[in-house]
Amino acid sequence: MSSACDVLVIGAGAAGLMCALTAGQRGRRVVVLERANKVGKKILMSGGGRCNFTNIGTTPANFLSANPHFCKSALARYTPSDFIALVDRHGIPWHEKELGQLFCDRSSKDIVRMLLDECEAAGVHVVTECEAASVARGSDGFLVRASTGDFDCASLVVASGGLSIPSLGGSGLGYQLARQFGHDVLPTRAGLVPLTLSGRHAERLCDLSGVALPVEASCNGQSFRNAMLVTHRGLSGPAILQISSYWQPGDALRLDLLPGLDVAAHLRAQRSERPAAELRTVLADLMPRRFAHRLCEEWLGNRPMRELGDRALREIASALGQWPVIASGTEGYRTAEVTLGGVDTDGLSSTTMMSRHVPGLYFIGEVVDVTGWLGGYNFQWAWASGRAAGEVA
Protein backbone atom coordinates (compact mmCIF):
# COMPACT_ATOMS: atom_id res chain seq x y z
CA MET A 1 0.00 0.00 0.00
CA SER A 2 1.53 3.34 -0.98
CA SER A 3 0.61 6.94 -0.17
CA ALA A 4 -0.20 9.20 -3.08
CA CYS A 5 0.62 12.85 -3.65
CA ASP A 6 1.09 15.26 -6.53
CA VAL A 7 4.63 16.35 -5.65
CA LEU A 8 7.15 14.40 -3.62
CA VAL A 9 10.26 16.29 -2.51
CA ILE A 10 13.29 14.32 -1.30
CA GLY A 11 15.14 16.44 1.27
CA ALA A 12 13.83 19.08 3.69
CA GLY A 13 16.76 21.46 3.32
CA ALA A 14 16.62 25.02 2.02
CA ALA A 15 15.82 24.08 -1.59
CA GLY A 16 13.33 21.32 -0.78
CA LEU A 17 11.31 23.38 1.68
CA MET A 18 11.15 26.39 -0.65
CA CYS A 19 10.00 24.15 -3.50
CA ALA A 20 7.43 22.41 -1.29
CA LEU A 21 5.82 25.60 0.03
CA THR A 22 5.69 27.08 -3.47
CA ALA A 23 4.02 23.99 -4.96
CA GLY A 24 1.67 23.79 -1.95
CA GLN A 25 0.58 27.40 -2.48
CA ARG A 26 -0.53 26.35 -5.98
CA GLY A 27 -2.84 23.80 -4.43
CA ARG A 28 -0.64 20.77 -5.12
CA ARG A 29 -0.63 17.96 -2.58
CA VAL A 30 3.00 17.96 -1.46
CA VAL A 31 4.97 15.55 0.71
CA VAL A 32 8.57 16.20 1.79
CA LEU A 33 10.71 13.29 2.97
CA GLU A 34 13.62 14.05 5.30
CA ARG A 35 15.88 11.33 6.57
CA ALA A 36 17.17 13.34 9.56
CA ASN A 37 15.20 13.76 12.78
CA LYS A 38 14.65 17.44 12.02
CA VAL A 39 14.46 19.62 8.94
CA GLY A 40 16.96 22.22 7.72
CA LYS A 41 19.99 21.07 9.70
CA LYS A 42 22.36 23.01 7.47
CA ILE A 43 20.26 26.14 7.81
CA LEU A 44 20.45 25.77 11.59
CA MET A 45 24.25 25.41 11.52
CA SER A 46 24.84 28.10 8.92
CA GLY A 47 26.39 31.48 9.46
CA GLY A 48 27.58 30.51 12.93
CA GLY A 49 23.95 29.85 13.97
CA ARG A 50 22.63 33.09 12.47
CA CYS A 51 22.14 31.88 8.85
CA ASN A 52 23.64 34.10 6.19
CA PHE A 53 20.40 33.65 4.25
CA THR A 54 21.17 35.70 1.14
CA ASN A 55 23.51 38.23 -0.40
CA ILE A 56 22.06 41.44 -1.78
CA GLY A 57 24.82 41.62 -4.38
CA THR A 58 23.97 38.22 -5.91
CA THR A 59 24.76 37.94 -9.62
CA PRO A 60 25.40 34.87 -11.80
CA ALA A 61 29.12 35.73 -11.59
CA ASN A 62 29.10 34.56 -7.96
CA PHE A 63 28.52 30.94 -8.97
CA LEU A 64 30.69 28.13 -10.35
CA SER A 65 29.17 25.78 -12.91
CA ALA A 66 30.24 24.08 -16.13
CA ASN A 67 27.52 26.24 -17.70
CA PRO A 68 27.77 29.70 -16.11
CA HIS A 69 24.54 30.80 -17.86
CA PHE A 70 22.34 28.10 -16.34
CA CYS A 71 21.66 29.85 -13.02
CA LYS A 72 20.63 33.17 -14.63
CA SER A 73 16.93 32.56 -15.20
CA ALA A 74 16.07 31.22 -11.75
CA LEU A 75 18.16 33.86 -9.96
CA ALA A 76 16.51 36.64 -11.97
CA ARG A 77 13.00 35.39 -11.16
CA TYR A 78 13.53 34.92 -7.42
CA THR A 79 15.88 37.58 -6.12
CA PRO A 80 17.35 38.43 -2.71
CA SER A 81 14.64 41.13 -2.43
CA ASP A 82 11.96 38.47 -2.83
CA PHE A 83 13.45 36.43 0.00
CA ILE A 84 13.91 39.53 2.18
CA ALA A 85 10.22 40.35 1.63
CA LEU A 86 9.32 36.87 2.91
CA VAL A 87 11.60 37.26 5.93
CA ASP A 88 10.07 40.68 6.65
CA ARG A 89 6.53 39.32 6.36
CA HIS A 90 7.43 36.91 9.17
CA GLY A 91 8.85 39.75 11.27
CA ILE A 92 12.31 38.19 11.42
CA PRO A 93 14.94 40.78 12.36
CA TRP A 94 18.10 40.76 10.24
CA HIS A 95 21.19 42.84 9.53
CA GLU A 96 23.80 43.27 6.83
CA LYS A 97 27.23 42.21 8.05
CA GLU A 98 29.70 42.96 5.26
CA LEU A 99 29.92 42.50 1.50
CA GLY A 100 26.13 42.33 1.14
CA GLN A 101 25.75 39.34 3.48
CA LEU A 102 22.45 39.27 5.38
CA PHE A 103 22.17 37.44 8.70
CA CYS A 104 19.41 36.84 11.24
CA ASP A 105 19.73 39.06 14.31
CA ARG A 106 18.55 36.25 16.56
CA SER A 107 19.01 32.73 15.23
CA SER A 108 18.89 30.51 12.15
CA LYS A 109 15.92 28.87 13.82
CA ASP A 110 13.85 31.86 12.64
CA ILE A 111 14.43 30.86 9.00
CA VAL A 112 13.54 27.21 9.58
CA ARG A 113 10.43 28.24 11.53
CA MET A 114 9.40 30.57 8.70
CA LEU A 115 9.79 27.83 6.07
CA LEU A 116 7.84 25.34 8.18
CA ASP A 117 5.06 27.87 8.87
CA GLU A 118 4.79 28.56 5.15
CA CYS A 119 4.70 24.82 4.44
CA GLU A 120 2.00 24.28 7.02
CA ALA A 121 -0.10 27.15 5.65
CA ALA A 122 0.23 25.62 2.17
CA GLY A 123 -0.83 22.17 3.42
CA VAL A 124 2.57 20.55 2.85
CA HIS A 125 3.15 17.29 4.72
CA VAL A 126 6.74 17.05 6.03
CA VAL A 127 7.87 13.60 7.15
CA THR A 128 11.10 13.37 9.16
CA GLU A 129 13.16 10.25 9.90
CA CYS A 130 12.11 8.92 6.54
CA GLU A 131 14.90 8.04 4.11
CA ALA A 132 14.15 7.74 0.41
CA ALA A 133 15.97 4.63 -0.76
CA SER A 134 15.06 4.12 -4.41
CA VAL A 135 12.79 5.39 -7.17
CA ALA A 136 11.03 3.57 -10.00
CA ARG A 137 8.85 4.88 -12.81
CA GLY A 138 5.16 4.36 -12.08
CA SER A 139 2.34 4.26 -14.61
CA ASP A 140 1.66 7.96 -14.14
CA GLY A 141 4.74 9.27 -12.41
CA PHE A 142 7.13 7.81 -9.86
CA LEU A 143 7.14 5.25 -7.06
CA VAL A 144 9.49 6.19 -4.23
CA ARG A 145 10.53 3.51 -1.77
CA ALA A 146 11.31 5.03 1.60
CA SER A 147 12.18 3.69 5.02
CA THR A 148 8.65 4.24 6.35
CA GLY A 149 6.70 3.16 3.27
CA ASP A 150 6.16 3.79 -0.43
CA PHE A 151 4.97 6.98 -2.10
CA ASP A 152 3.33 7.47 -5.49
CA CYS A 153 3.78 10.90 -7.02
CA ALA A 154 3.21 12.67 -10.30
CA SER A 155 6.24 14.96 -9.85
CA LEU A 156 9.45 14.06 -8.07
CA VAL A 157 11.81 16.77 -6.86
CA VAL A 158 15.31 15.72 -5.82
CA ALA A 159 16.58 18.20 -3.22
CA SER A 160 18.86 15.86 -1.32
CA GLY A 161 21.88 18.18 -1.32
CA GLY A 162 25.54 17.35 -1.84
CA LEU A 163 28.19 15.33 -0.04
CA SER A 164 29.49 17.98 2.33
CA ILE A 165 29.29 17.35 6.08
CA PRO A 166 27.64 13.91 6.12
CA SER A 167 26.50 14.43 9.72
CA LEU A 168 24.29 17.31 8.52
CA GLY A 169 22.64 15.27 5.80
CA GLY A 170 25.11 15.02 2.93
CA SER A 171 24.14 12.04 0.77
CA GLY A 172 24.86 10.63 -2.65
CA LEU A 173 21.24 9.74 -3.40
CA GLY A 174 20.67 12.67 -5.75
CA TYR A 175 23.62 11.73 -7.94
CA GLN A 176 22.53 8.08 -7.98
CA LEU A 177 19.01 9.04 -9.10
CA ALA A 178 20.38 11.41 -11.74
CA ARG A 179 22.47 8.61 -13.27
CA GLN A 180 19.58 6.17 -13.05
CA PHE A 181 17.44 8.52 -15.15
CA GLY A 182 20.10 9.15 -17.79
CA HIS A 183 21.72 12.34 -16.48
CA ASP A 184 25.43 13.06 -16.45
CA VAL A 185 26.93 13.84 -13.08
CA LEU A 186 30.00 16.06 -13.24
CA PRO A 187 32.86 15.10 -10.90
CA THR A 188 32.17 16.27 -7.36
CA ARG A 189 34.69 17.76 -4.93
CA ALA A 190 34.71 19.70 -1.69
CA GLY A 191 34.30 23.49 -2.00
CA LEU A 192 34.52 26.37 0.49
CA VAL A 193 36.92 24.21 2.45
CA PRO A 194 40.17 24.76 4.38
CA LEU A 195 43.39 23.84 2.56
CA THR A 196 46.00 21.54 4.06
CA LEU A 197 49.77 21.92 3.98
CA SER A 198 52.19 19.05 4.40
CA GLY A 199 55.87 18.39 5.07
CA ARG A 200 58.15 21.42 5.27
CA HIS A 201 55.33 23.86 4.40
CA ALA A 202 53.29 22.65 7.32
CA GLU A 203 56.28 22.68 9.69
CA ARG A 204 57.05 26.29 8.81
CA LEU A 205 53.57 27.61 9.54
CA CYS A 206 51.21 25.38 11.46
CA ASP A 207 52.46 26.16 14.95
CA LEU A 208 51.14 29.67 14.23
CA SER A 209 47.62 28.18 14.37
CA GLY A 210 45.13 30.92 15.26
CA VAL A 211 47.02 33.77 13.59
CA ALA A 212 44.78 35.68 11.14
CA LEU A 213 45.57 38.40 8.63
CA PRO A 214 43.94 40.02 5.60
CA VAL A 215 45.23 38.65 2.27
CA GLU A 216 44.26 38.55 -1.36
CA ALA A 217 44.22 34.92 -2.52
CA SER A 218 44.46 34.26 -6.28
CA CYS A 219 44.11 31.09 -8.33
CA ASN A 220 43.09 30.34 -11.90
CA GLY A 221 42.23 33.97 -12.66
CA GLN A 222 40.04 34.49 -9.59
CA SER A 223 40.96 36.60 -6.54
CA PHE A 224 39.38 37.13 -3.13
CA ARG A 225 40.45 39.75 -0.61
CA ASN A 226 39.47 38.78 2.92
CA ALA A 227 40.87 37.26 6.11
CA MET A 228 43.14 34.20 6.17
CA LEU A 229 43.54 32.03 9.25
CA VAL A 230 46.47 29.71 9.93
CA THR A 231 45.24 26.37 11.29
CA HIS A 232 47.14 23.48 12.82
CA ARG A 233 46.86 21.61 9.49
CA GLY A 234 46.99 24.42 6.96
CA LEU A 235 45.07 27.54 5.98
CA SER A 236 41.46 28.62 6.40
CA GLY A 237 39.45 31.85 6.79
CA PRO A 238 37.10 33.39 4.22
CA ALA A 239 39.78 34.24 1.62
CA ILE A 240 41.04 30.63 1.63
CA LEU A 241 37.55 29.07 1.67
CA GLN A 242 36.58 31.21 -1.32
CA ILE A 243 39.67 30.42 -3.37
CA SER A 244 39.48 26.70 -2.46
CA SER A 245 36.53 26.36 -4.84
CA TYR A 246 38.78 27.46 -7.70
CA TRP A 247 41.79 25.35 -6.67
CA GLN A 248 42.60 21.79 -7.56
CA PRO A 249 45.73 19.81 -6.60
CA GLY A 250 48.71 21.07 -8.56
CA ASP A 251 47.20 24.49 -9.35
CA ALA A 252 49.28 27.55 -8.50
CA LEU A 253 47.81 29.52 -5.59
CA ARG A 254 49.28 32.86 -4.59
CA LEU A 255 48.70 35.22 -1.71
CA ASP A 256 49.19 38.94 -1.53
CA LEU A 257 50.10 39.20 2.15
CA LEU A 258 49.76 42.99 2.23
CA PRO A 259 46.89 43.71 -0.17
CA GLY A 260 46.31 47.31 -1.12
CA LEU A 261 49.72 48.52 0.05
CA ASP A 262 52.58 49.72 -2.19
CA VAL A 263 55.02 47.57 -0.22
CA ALA A 264 58.20 48.62 -2.04
CA ALA A 265 57.45 52.31 -1.45
CA HIS A 266 56.54 51.64 2.18
CA LEU A 267 59.78 49.72 2.80
CA ARG A 268 61.85 52.48 1.15
CA ALA A 269 60.18 55.07 3.38
CA GLN A 270 60.80 52.93 6.47
CA ARG A 271 64.47 52.52 5.50
CA SER A 272 64.82 56.31 5.52
CA GLU A 273 62.91 56.77 8.77
CA ARG A 274 64.21 53.78 10.75
CA PRO A 275 67.47 52.59 9.16
CA ALA A 276 68.44 50.52 12.21
CA ALA A 277 65.10 48.70 12.44
CA GLU A 278 65.13 45.05 11.42
CA LEU A 279 62.91 43.94 8.55
CA ARG A 280 60.84 41.79 10.90
CA THR A 281 60.10 44.77 13.12
CA VAL A 282 58.96 46.82 10.13
CA LEU A 283 56.77 43.98 8.87
CA ALA A 284 55.33 43.38 12.34
CA ASP A 285 53.75 46.85 12.10
CA LEU A 286 51.83 45.64 9.02
CA MET A 287 50.77 42.10 10.00
CA PRO A 288 50.63 39.88 13.09
CA ARG A 289 54.01 39.91 14.78
CA ARG A 290 54.46 36.13 14.96
CA PHE A 291 53.64 35.81 11.27
CA ALA A 292 56.07 38.60 10.32
CA HIS A 293 58.83 37.07 12.42
CA ARG A 294 58.28 33.64 10.87
CA LEU A 295 58.40 35.05 7.35
CA CYS A 296 61.77 36.60 8.13
CA GLU A 297 63.17 33.53 9.95
CA GLU A 298 62.19 31.07 7.25
CA TRP A 299 62.17 33.01 4.02
CA LEU A 300 63.07 36.69 3.86
CA GLY A 301 66.06 37.03 6.22
CA ASN A 302 66.21 39.66 8.86
CA ARG A 303 68.71 42.38 8.16
CA PRO A 304 68.44 45.97 9.36
CA MET A 305 66.66 48.16 6.84
CA ARG A 306 69.79 50.19 6.03
CA GLU A 307 71.48 47.04 4.65
CA LEU A 308 68.68 46.44 2.16
CA GLY A 309 69.23 48.06 -1.25
CA ASP A 310 66.43 49.10 -3.60
CA ARG A 311 66.66 45.80 -5.46
CA ALA A 312 66.41 43.76 -2.26
CA LEU A 313 63.37 45.79 -1.18
CA ARG A 314 61.74 45.25 -4.59
CA GLU A 315 62.33 41.51 -4.26
CA ILE A 316 60.87 41.43 -0.75
CA ALA A 317 57.83 43.44 -1.90
CA SER A 318 57.36 41.14 -4.86
CA ALA A 319 57.64 38.02 -2.65
CA LEU A 320 55.06 39.40 -0.20
CA GLY A 321 52.69 40.24 -3.04
CA GLN A 322 52.99 36.85 -4.77
CA TRP A 323 53.44 34.42 -1.92
CA PRO A 324 53.17 30.88 -3.33
CA VAL A 325 51.11 28.37 -1.34
CA ILE A 326 51.87 24.72 -1.97
CA ALA A 327 48.70 23.14 -0.62
CA SER A 328 48.69 19.37 -0.30
CA GLY A 329 44.90 19.08 -0.46
CA THR A 330 41.72 20.16 1.30
CA GLU A 331 40.08 19.12 4.55
CA GLY A 332 37.51 17.33 2.36
CA TYR A 333 33.76 16.87 2.71
CA ARG A 334 34.07 16.56 6.48
CA THR A 335 34.33 20.34 6.82
CA ALA A 336 33.40 21.64 3.35
CA GLU A 337 30.46 24.03 3.20
CA VAL A 338 29.49 22.91 -0.29
CA THR A 339 29.96 20.26 -2.96
CA LEU A 340 31.21 21.45 -6.33
CA GLY A 341 30.07 19.63 -9.48
CA GLY A 342 26.97 17.44 -9.47
CA VAL A 343 24.01 16.95 -11.78
CA ASP A 344 24.99 18.32 -15.19
CA THR A 345 22.86 21.35 -16.03
CA ASP A 346 22.84 20.33 -19.71
CA GLY A 347 20.17 17.79 -18.83
CA LEU A 348 17.93 20.29 -17.01
CA SER A 349 15.67 23.17 -18.02
CA SER A 350 17.10 26.39 -16.60
CA THR A 351 13.61 27.86 -16.14
CA THR A 352 11.98 24.94 -14.32
CA MET A 353 14.87 22.68 -13.20
CA MET A 354 12.96 19.80 -14.87
CA SER A 355 14.85 16.93 -16.44
CA ARG A 356 15.08 17.09 -20.22
CA HIS A 357 14.96 13.28 -20.30
CA VAL A 358 12.22 12.46 -17.81
CA PRO A 359 9.16 14.73 -17.59
CA GLY A 360 8.10 15.33 -13.98
CA LEU A 361 11.58 14.81 -12.51
CA TYR A 362 13.34 17.86 -11.03
CA PHE A 363 16.74 18.55 -9.43
CA ILE A 364 17.25 21.64 -7.25
CA GLY A 365 19.73 23.15 -4.81
CA GLU A 366 23.21 21.90 -4.12
CA VAL A 367 22.83 18.56 -5.92
CA VAL A 368 22.93 20.51 -9.19
CA ASP A 369 26.24 21.66 -10.69
CA VAL A 370 25.77 25.25 -9.48
CA THR A 371 27.88 26.32 -6.50
CA GLY A 372 27.98 29.76 -4.95
CA TRP A 373 30.71 31.73 -3.29
CA LEU A 374 30.82 32.08 0.48
CA GLY A 375 28.45 34.80 1.70
CA GLY A 376 24.80 33.79 1.33
CA TYR A 377 24.93 32.88 -2.36
CA ASN A 378 24.35 29.16 -1.83
CA PHE A 379 21.11 29.75 0.04
CA GLN A 380 20.01 32.22 -2.64
CA TRP A 381 20.54 29.46 -5.22
CA ALA A 382 18.59 27.01 -3.04
CA TRP A 383 15.67 29.49 -2.72
CA ALA A 384 15.71 30.42 -6.42
CA SER A 385 16.00 26.91 -7.82
CA GLY A 386 13.43 25.63 -5.31
CA ARG A 387 11.05 28.38 -6.33
CA ALA A 388 11.55 27.68 -10.05
CA ALA A 389 10.65 24.00 -9.64
CA GLY A 390 7.84 24.68 -7.14
CA GLU A 391 6.07 26.95 -9.63
CA VAL A 392 5.57 24.11 -12.12
CA ALA A 393 6.05 20.73 -10.38
Ligand X SMILES: Cc1cc2nc3c(=O)[nH]c(=O)nc-3n(C[C@H](O)[C@H](O)[C@H](O)COP(=O)(O)OP(=O)(O)OC[C@H]3O[C@@H](n4cnc5c(N)ncnc54)[C@H](O)[C@@H]3O)c2cc1C
Binding footprint of ligand X on the chain (CB under 6 A): 10-16, 33-36, 41-42, 45-47, 51-52, 131-132, 159-161, 164-165, 168-169, 171, 173, 337-338, 365-366, 376-379, 382
Q: Minimum distance from CB of 160 to ligand X (Å)?
A: 4
State the DSSP code for 207.
Answer: G
- Closer to ligand X by CB, 129 or 285: give it: 129
- Closer to ligand X by CB, 78 or 291: give it: 78
Packing angle between helix 14-25 and helix 377-390, nearest 10 degrees? 30
- Residue type for position 292: A
- Closer to ligand X by CB, 54 or 196: give it: 54
Q: Minimum distance from CB of 289 to ligand X (Å)?
A: 31
- Closer to ligand X by CB, 83 or 246: give it: 83
- Closer to ligand X by CB, 160 or 196: give it: 160
The helix/strand count (H/E) of the chain reads as 13, 21
Q: Minimum distance from CB of 353 to ligand X (Å)?
A: 11
Which residue number is nearest to ligand X in terms of Cβ? 13
Q: How far apart are CA 380 and CA 169, in angstroms?
A: 19
42 and 13 Cβ atoms separated by less than 8 Å: yes
- Closer to ligand X by CB, 46 or 196: give it: 46
- Closer to ligand X by CB, 173 or 316: give it: 173
User: Which residues lie below 8 Å from residue 75, measured CB to CB, with a gap of 6+?
Assistant: 58, 59, 60, 380, 381, 384
Q: Minimum distance from CB of 127 to ligand X (Å)?
A: 9
Among candidate residues 346, 354, 358, the one with its CA nearest the CA of residue 389: 354
Q: Minimum distance from CB of 335 to ligand X (Å)?
A: 8
Strands (E), 22-131: 30-33, 52-55, 63-64, 94-96, 101-104, 125-127
Q: Minimum distance from CB of 232 to ligand X (Å)?
A: 19
Q: Minimum distance from CB of 290 to ligand X (Å)?
A: 28
What b/e sequence results for 312-328 when a residue is b if at least 16 CB atoms lie within 10 Å of its CB, and e otherwise?
ebeebbeebbebebebe
User: Which residues lie below 8 Å from residue 354, measured CB to CB, with a gap of 6+?
Assistant: 348, 360, 361, 362, 389, 392, 393
